Chains A and B, each alone.
Chain A
Amino acid sequence: MGELKDELLPAALEAWDYSTDLRTTRVVGIDLSNLRADSGLSENDPLRLVVRYWPSTSLIRSVAYRKDLPIEVGHTVCEINIVAKGADLGGTLTIETVVELAADLNHNEPFIARKRGSILWSDQTKVHLEGGAGLLPVAPVSFSEAGLPGNAAWYVSMDGGDWEQAAMGSLLILLNEDNSVVRKAMQGSSEEASILWATLEVDIVADLVGRALDDEAFMDYPTSEDPDGDLTMAGLIRALVRTYLLRPGEAVEQAVKRIGDERRRDPSRFRVSVQSGVKFLGGNS
């Protein structure tokens, strides 16, 4: 494959829902002579460039781009513009660019592709659609009607145990509409609202990290090779630890062990560490 120039997709989109179609562009340069030579093909063998995509939720694949590549040409550049229908998407979107055989070839050479659609080269990129401000991190609910303690302010609801799930699909913060202070804070910014949200931040970090520390399945869950792009529940917990609770020179796994020990000895001290980590109410500034 020749040089590639692509519009870099972020690991996660800031805002997305079903009514948002995704448009992306990629410029692909292909050294056709070398590609054919490396694949054992002749200059006339037909190739095509295809882009397909699928969401992690339904796994249903769609083809967004298909172009026959020129024959007897050494090098070509294709500008690919694709649109993925928002209604078909969810979770994490995988976009795959493929160079493949465009027709069946009539030969019996071993180790040389001959079936139409045989993949000669492919490249995948992924984007989390339901990360960040995704589908539903927060929902206002009447706690009295929902059977939750009526005087509370919020509830951090987590689909427990599956650390591989997309974080924003598993996590939901319920805000109590019955609570007048919470209700007012939801309607606009004020100093009271800022304090409330800062307290919620401490609660979320303490709750989620605490739940992870209590679950052996999390402790056994392998660390991602791409921690910045890992928006699974496990990835979110490690990101929280990395952002708020890590000491200088400490690895995340070391911090998880240290915090777990600290929490077992003194749960209040753990909560204080979280307050300090998130710079609760501005920290010492």
Chain B
Amino acid sequence: MSVLYPRLLPAETERRFRMLPDRAPADLVSLSSPRAVFAATGGRRVSRDELSDLRSTLMAEAERCGFPAPCSTAERIDFDRVAMRIVFSQCHMTPGEASNRQVWAFIALVLLPDVCVWRWPIDKDGEFPRDRFKGTDLTRHAFGRLWTRAHVLYDPLAEDPYHLFDVLGEEAMDQVMSRRSALGASPPLVRAIVRTHVEDTESIPGIPARDVFRESLTRLLRITAFTDLDAAEESELGLLVRQTRAEARASLVER
């Protein structure tokens, strides 16, 4: 049975987000909020023990990565890498529940505000990045984006279903997921893109791999405008992505 999570009411989400600059994040931590509600049906409600376990596990990883001291880029990447597995494997959310932004607002602003503030501190504009806390865009939320990425990268047929989780860096993965409706909405296509990126060892001096990756995404995007890739087998998608990468590399050489 799927697990339902508290949904933080919009007004409370805004109130808690506005409190962040003035309060110690640890003071905002709680396992529940009277201003959060559950979906009426569709699963069983997550227990306080499960929420406590989720918090403890993620907090332990944050501490391993330097929490509460300000984190370096390497520590942020390390934390996200491990947190992605934890959030995906421990939450037992259905995709429907995971696409509810108020669920992620609860996790960021009630269950783990201290970890979220540590991972996404005040930016150069002097503000906390709201989309990382409030869930206005799930491809950017501190934890929602990790669940979403894990969901499309999880490879059920592989010996290690998590083997694709750590392949792409933040920027490259962001390029895939930000083209959400065309590319990111097709888990088999995302897996083919990531798998092929690993397997493609061809290297041409002066043509960085990231340029080949970016150009191939642009070309795939064009193809999705008039073709249906969802009905293709994973092997067909692998072939298509390999061909597209080869064409992308050739076009970069010609420029």
Interface residues of A (CB under 8 A from B): 17-19, 48, 50, 52, 54-55, 57-63, 66, 86-91, 98, 100, 115-119, 135-136, 138-139, 141-142, 145-147, 157-160, 169, 172, 174
Contact = CB atoms under 8 A, between A and B. Distances in A.
A58 B98 contact: yes
Contacts of A54: 185
Given A141-B34, A147-B35, A115 B227 contact: yes
Given A59-B181, A116-B236, A157-B11, A141 B227 contact: no
A91 B98 CA distance: 12
A19 to B, nearest CB: 6
Given A87-B95, A91-B99, A146-B34, 6 more contacts: A60-B151, A90-B95, A115-B223, A116-B236, A119-B228, A136-B39
The 7 A-B residue pairs whose C-beta atoms are closest, nearest first, are A17-B42, A57-B99, A18-B42, A90-B96, A87-B94, A117-B227, A58-B99
B43 A19 contact: yes
B123 to A, nearest CB: 23
Interface in B26-56: 34-35, 37-43
B152 interface: yes
B231 interface: yes
Nearest to B1: A19
B39 A60 contact: no
25 contacts: A17-B39, A18-B2, A18-B39, A18-B43, A19-B1, A19-B2, A19-B42, A50-B231, A55-B95, A55-B99, A58-B98, A58-B148, A59-B185, A60-B185, A60-B187, A63-B231, A66-B231, A88-B95, A89-B96, A100-B227, A117-B231, A136-B37, A145-B34, A158-B10, A172-B9
Contacts of A50: 228, 230-231
A60 B95 contact: yes
B231 A118 contact: no
B210 interface: no
A52 B96 contact: no
Nearest to B184: A59
Contacts, number: 124
A18 B94 contact: yes
A63 B99 contact: no
B96 A157 contact: no
Interface of chain A, helix or strand or loop or mixed? mixed
Contact of B37 (A48, A90, A139, A158): A139
A106 to B, nearest CB: 15
Q: Looking at chain B, what size class is its interface with the partner chain?
A: 35 or more
Contact of A86 (B39, B96, B185): B96
A169 B40 CA distance: 12
Contacts of B97: 18, 90
A54 B228 CA distance: 13
A108 B202 CA distance: 29
A116 B40 contact: no
Contact of A141 (B37, B41, B236): B37
Interface in B213-249: 223, 226-232, 236
Contact of B42 (A66, A135, A169): A135
A159 B14 CA distance: 11
B187 to A, nearest CB: 7
A174 B38 CA distance: 12
